Amino acid sequence: MGTIVKVSGLTKSFKHNTAVNDLSFSVNEGDVYGFLGQNGAGKSTTIRMLVTLITPTAGEIEIFGMPLNKNRIEILRQIGAVIEKPDVYKYLSAFENLSLFARLSGVSLSDAKLMDQLDKVGLAHRAKDTVKTFSQGMKQRLGIAIALVHDPRLIILDEPTNGLDPQGIADIRNLILHLSRDLQKTVIVSSHLLNEIEQVASRVLIIDKGKKIVEGNALDLFDPAQTIVELQTFDNQYALEQLQISSWAQHLQPQRDSAILIKIDRLQIPQLHRDLVDMDIQLLSIQPRHSLEDYFLQVTSANQHVDTYSS
Amino acid sequence: MWTLIQVELYKIFRRPRTYIAFIAVAGLIGVIQFGLKLDGDAYVGFMMRDITSSLTVEGKILNGYQVCYIVLQILLIHVPLLIALVAADMISGEANMGTLRIMLTKPMSRTHFLLAKFLAAVAYTLLLLIWLAILALFLNMLLFGVDDLFLLKSQYVVLLKKDDIFWRYAWAFGFAALSMTTVASLGFLFSQFAENSIGPIVATMSVIIFFTILSTLNIPIFNKVKPFLFTTHMIGWKEFFDIKVNDANESIKGSIQNPQKIITSAIVLFLHIIGFVTASVLVFRKKDVLS
Amino acid sequence: MRKIVFVYIFLLVSFSSYSQDMTALIMRVKAKLDQVNDYEADGRMKTDVSFIKAPIGKVKVYFKKPNKFRLKKDGGISLLPKGGVSVNMNSIFATSDFVALAAGEAMIGGSKTRIVKLLPANENSDIVLTTMYIDETNLLVKKAVTTTRENGTYEIEMSYGQYTQYGLPDKVVFTFNTKDYKLPKGITLEFNDEEKPLSEADKLKNKKGRVEITYTNYQINKGLPDAVFK
């Protein structure tokens, strides 16, 4: 599988801050590439540079093996992007918007094919309604239809689940999987909903303050041997005191959300359970936390913020 | 490029705001026509009071050509605002709606995109002026009939024969189109710098008002600047309604007193358009779309 | 003393007999003009006023005894001196109630003319005084300078050609006073402040205007309905 996107030394400085600082990463063909970072980390700025909305201060971007700055139009022909909240022309209907953007994307589709596109995102029944009557979720789906109308090779989704209800989020997740597995598209998806990325991403890039923190295969990054287990007890204070004088003390993690966290191998969970009962700790629940979230918090500066709030 | 222009025109004419200008023009002209139909004689009497102290003026002074001239004098000062409503909204409106970022991720050159938008704004301007011509000239010719045109300039009076007028209006509207395109290009330039249309619209009108004041005031220090202001040249359409006379003080049919002045004004306006559009392209090509 | 009285009486008698000659002259001119009961003619009218740029206009002129006169522009707008163009020789001569006084001689258009001052007897007449320059030989009025109460003074100068026998002119030039014309540039929206060329500025100072009418194709005594003058 070849490299579809190659970014080297990408930097973007604005007047008062550097949003992206010497960022390098690559996306392989067929990847679902998860782009993670807190708000203000530089995700959107990076994505905007990929689709030429913003000019980099330094660095190079190659897409489909071509330099972006020299082959912009040809590259954009093969990219479909949804940048943040997709805004379309509110005074036009969904069908008119799709038709308009299809023309601008260089494709000439019949009315039936356009309706088919709307049907795929569940908007066929609202095709003739003006967009100003649409909910945020419907606008998001229309944005995705517009991004896909010209059958692009690379799809870039920036915060695609913003404003969606759980069903909508699930639909987006299924769509991403469908694009990747069934249609062999390459998808870059940025989000702050870590559990969603965890479910779809094959590779992940985590950035913080404009810099790359880590990049790699999702499976390699999240070591199941280092699972964080969350305990809820009847008396957390008593439970914590007991654990601190037990053999599990070295595995204790900083408390969060009034839960006790222990970092252990998943295979040790049954033994932990038995020991907790022996220590006369009344358990309300014991469950493993999402490994990506913890990994993310571990590698970014979010931990400091959490300690402040929990004390 | 042609697809882009078609798309831009489609967007302009599907937007309800666009029709405000057409309705406003129709309303304004309708009010003027109504007033003149009812009280036109009083207006003419007021206009002619200086002349009628020594001369008797006979004939149908308040005819379609006269009313059209009155309408143009009034409207061509106010039509720039209506032009700015659309032109100054071309980029900032897209940014405000959030559609600019989706547009610019499509496979098209930014220069082509911008030029297509500008040409669509120019098409809107021309259509507005055609609408103005239909109502101000053709409709008035029907309502008030046609006759000679009697024009009061600051130092002399011009009387144009009936069959020597229509071609002048054709050229005058053409020149007005150039003037209004200059306004459109200024609004278009300001549109690059904002993410909300109000700012560029107000800025465009402020510049026009400010420059018009400079153009009008007869203060020596401003006289040096006046030839370079586009507002000084925007009223160049009036030169089509001045006629040459021979040595016997007989007006020469089909002539224009100062054709060179018209050419100079047209060149100045054209250069302004080129300048504003070029600046727009240069700014837009480098613009970071953060909206 | 006796010599002075004698000279005085001689002058008085001469003056009386002289003034009687002017009335007779006027009557002879009037009699010539009386040949014409009515006429219509085509005219080419040129308005020559310093602050007016106007084209040549086509007119039609109608006259019917005793004093019906109408000048109709062939469409379009016309600029005429106030009260002037409606006056024509025929209407001046329509009244018999005047005093005609001799006032010397002058050369007008290459012809020797007698100057006759006509004072209307009617004190309420708009015309205060008319000075006529009459070609005694041909009984033609070459020039008339009329002072009116309402419309000031104007001159009418006439040239004759093929209709001399009827006393109808080929060309009539009305010269009249005009007032200054100026409108603020703020109203006319003229932003240029160029100085007018000297010759044109001089022209503006000349506060006289002219209307020239060149007549052709007189139709004399063909009968004209009164409706034409309405």
pLDDT beyond 50 at A307: no
Residue found by looking up tokens 């002119």 in the block: C169
pLDDT beyond 50 at A12: yes
How remote is the C-alpha of C196 from its chain's centroid?
Answer: 33
C-beta of residue A85 within 8 angstroms of C-beta of residue A106: no
Q: Which residues of A touch B106 (CB under 8 A)?
A: 76, 101, 104-105
Give the model's pLDDT for residue A304. 41
Task: pLDDT band for A311, please (50, 70, 90 cuts).
Answer: very low
Check CB contact of C73 with chain B, cutoff 8 Å.
yes
- Structural element, H or E, at residue B47: helix B18-47
Could you write out the DSSP letters of every residue in A218-251?
HHHHS-GGGEEEEEEES-HHHHHHHHHTSTTGGG
Q: Rounded to the nearest 5°, which phi and psi values hold at B186?
A: -70, -45
Give the model's pLDDT for residue C18. 47
Give the model's pLDDT for residue A310. 31
C-beta of residue C77 within 8 angstroms of C-beta of residue C54: no
Check CB contact of B2 with chain A, cutoff 8 Å.
no
Q: Which residues of C touch B144 (CB under 8 A)?
A: none
Mean pLDDT of A13-34: 91
For A93-123, what is each residue's pLDDT tens digit?
999 999 999 999 989 899 999 999 999 888 9
For C13-23, what is each residue's pLDDT tens digit?
555 444 445 78
Q: How many CB pairs under 8 A join B and C?
A: 125
- Partner chains of A (3+ C-beta pairs under 8 Å): B
pLDDT beyond 90 at B264: yes
Task: pLDDT band for C90, please (50, 70, 90 cuts).
Answer: low
pLDDT beyond 60 at A62: yes
- Structural element, H or E, at residue C7: helix C2-33
pLDDT beyond 60 at C193: no
Can you tell me the distance from the alpha carbon of A309 to that of B244, in angstroms, rounded to the nearest whole number?
87
Task: pLDDT band for C223, please (50, 70, 90 cuts).
Answer: confident
Q: Which residues of C touch B248 (CB under 8 A)?
A: 46, 48
CA separation (Å) from A137 to A122, B96, C181? 11, 20, 72
- The runs of H, that is alpha helices, within C55-179 are 89-94
Minimal-distance CA residue of chain A relative to B111: A73
- The runs of H, that is alpha helices, within chain A are 43-50, 72-76, 94-104, 111-120, 136-148, 166-177, 194-200, 218-221, 236-244, 269-278, 291-299, 302-310
Task: pLDDT band for C94, please (50, 70, 90 cuts).
Answer: low
Q: How many Å lie between the alpha carbon of B79 and the closest alpha carbon of chain A? A: 25
Cis omega (within 30 of 0) for bond into B80: no
Inspect the interface and report whether the beta carbons of C185 and B218 lie closer than 8 Å: yes
Question: Which two tokens mark C75?
Answer: 């469409």
Q: Which of B97, B105, B106 sits opposite A87 (nearest CB)?
A: B97
Phi-psi region of A222 (alpha: psi -120 to 50; beta: other; left: phi over 0): beta
Q: Which residues contact B49 (CB under 8 A, 6 or more apart)?
A: none
Amino acid B5 reads: I
Inspect the interface and report whether the beta carbons of B148 and C188 lie closer than 8 Å: no
C-beta of residue C93 within 8 angstroms of C-beta of residue C188: no
Mean pLDDT of A278-282: 92
Closest CA to A38 of A306, A307, A236, A296: A296
Q: Which of B4, B7, B105 sits opposite A53 (nearest CB)?
A: B105
Q: Which residues contact B7 (CB under 8 A, 6 or more apart)?
A: A100, A103, A104, B116
Inspect the interface and report whether the beta carbons of B109 and A51 lie closer than 8 Å: no
Q: Which residues of C touch B60 (CB under 8 A)?
A: 77
Q: Which of B106, B108, B109 to probe by mutation at the A interface, max A CB count within 10 Å?
A: B106
Q: How many Å lie between the alpha carbon of C50 and the closest alpha carbon of chain B? A: 8
Mean pLDDT of C124-140: 86
Helix (H, G, I), strand (E, B) or coil at C139: coil
Inspect the interface and report whether the beta carbons of A91 and B15 lie closer than 8 Å: yes
Q: Which of B75, B154, B253 to probe by mutation at the C interface, max C CB count within 10 Å?
A: B154
Sheet of A259-264: strand order equals A252-256, A259-264, A227-233, A283-288
Q: How many Å lie between the alpha carbon of B54 and the closest alpha carbon of chain C? A: 5
- Partner chains of B (3+ C-beta pairs under 8 Å): A, C
Minimal-distance CA residue of chain C relative to B230: C191
Inspect the interface and report whether the beta carbons of B4 and A104 lie closer than 8 Å: yes
Can you tell me the distance from the alpha carbon of A114 to that of A149, in angstroms, rounded to the nearest whole number?
8
Question: Which two tokens mark B220?
Answer: 């020596």
Amino acid A59 reads: G
For B98-141, what is each residue's pLDDT tens digit?
999 999 999 999 999 999 999 999 999 999 999 999 999 999 99
Inspect the interface and report whether the beta carbons of B216 and C182 lie closer than 8 Å: no
Could you write out the DSSP letters of every residue in A56-111?
-SEEEEEETTEETTTSHHHHHTTEEEE-SS----TTSBHHHHHHHHHHHTT----H
Task: pLDDT band for A222, please (50, 70, 90 cuts).
Answer: low
Inspect the interface and report whether the beta carbons of B102 and A105 lie closer than 8 Å: no
CA separation (Å) from A183 to A4, A31, A196? 16, 12, 20
**How many C-beta atoms surround the C-beta of residue A47 within 10 A?**
23
Give the model's pLDDT for residue A306. 34
The complex's ipTM works out to 0.83
Of A295-299, C124-128, C131-135, where does the model show the most confidence?
C131-135
Q: Which of C49, C59, C77, C185 to probe by mutation at the B interface, max B CB count within 10 Å?
A: C77
Strands A79-82 and A154-158: parallel
Mean pLDDT of B258-287: 96
pTM as predicted:
0.81
Q: Which of A45, A73, A132 to probe by mutation at the B interface, max B CB count within 10 Å?
A: A73
Could you give the percent of chain A with pLDDT greater than 90?
Answer: 50
Can you tell me the distance from the alpha carbon of B71 to that of A193, in angstroms, rounded to the nearest whole number?
62
Residue found by looking up tokens 């590259």 in the block: A75
Check CB contact of A263 with chain B, cutoff 8 Å.
no
Q: For residues C52-77, b (16+ Cβ closer than 10 Å) or e, as one string?
A: bbbbebebebbbbeeebbebbbebbb
C-beta of residue C184 within 8 angstroms of C-beta of residue B154: yes
Check CB contact of B160 with chain C, cutoff 8 Å.
yes
Can you tell me the distance from the alpha carbon of A34 to that of A27, in angstroms, rounded to the nearest whole number?
10
Task: pLDDT band for B54, please (50, 70, 90 cuts).
Answer: confident
Give the model's pLDDT for residue B182. 97
Inspect the interface and report whether the beta carbons of A52 and B98 lie closer than 8 Å: no
Minimal-distance CA residue of chain B relative to A104: B106
For A164-185, what is each residue's pLDDT tens digit?
888 888 888 888 888 888 888 9
Q: Rounded to the nearest 5°, which phi and psi values hold at B235?
A: -90, 15
For B79-107, what is each residue's pLDDT tens digit?
999 999 899 999 999 999 999 999 999 99
Closest CA to A18 of A42, A51, A34, A48: A42
Minimal-distance CA residue of chain C relative to B59: C77
Domains of chain C: 2-229 (2.50.20)
Q: How many Å lie between the alpha carbon of A149 and the closest alpha carbon of chain B? A: 12
Average pLDDT in chain A: 86
Question: Which two tokens mark B189?
Answer: 């330039």
Mean pLDDT of B188-208: 94
Helix (H, G, I), strand (E, B) or coil at B144: helix
Give the model's pLDDT for residue B184. 96
Can you tell me the distance from the alpha carbon of C87 to that of B56, in angstroms, rounded to the nearest whole number?
14
Q: Which of A16, A104, A151, A157 to probe by mutation at the B interface, max B CB count within 10 Å?
A: A104
**How many C-beta atoms surround the C-beta of residue A247 within 10 A?**
9
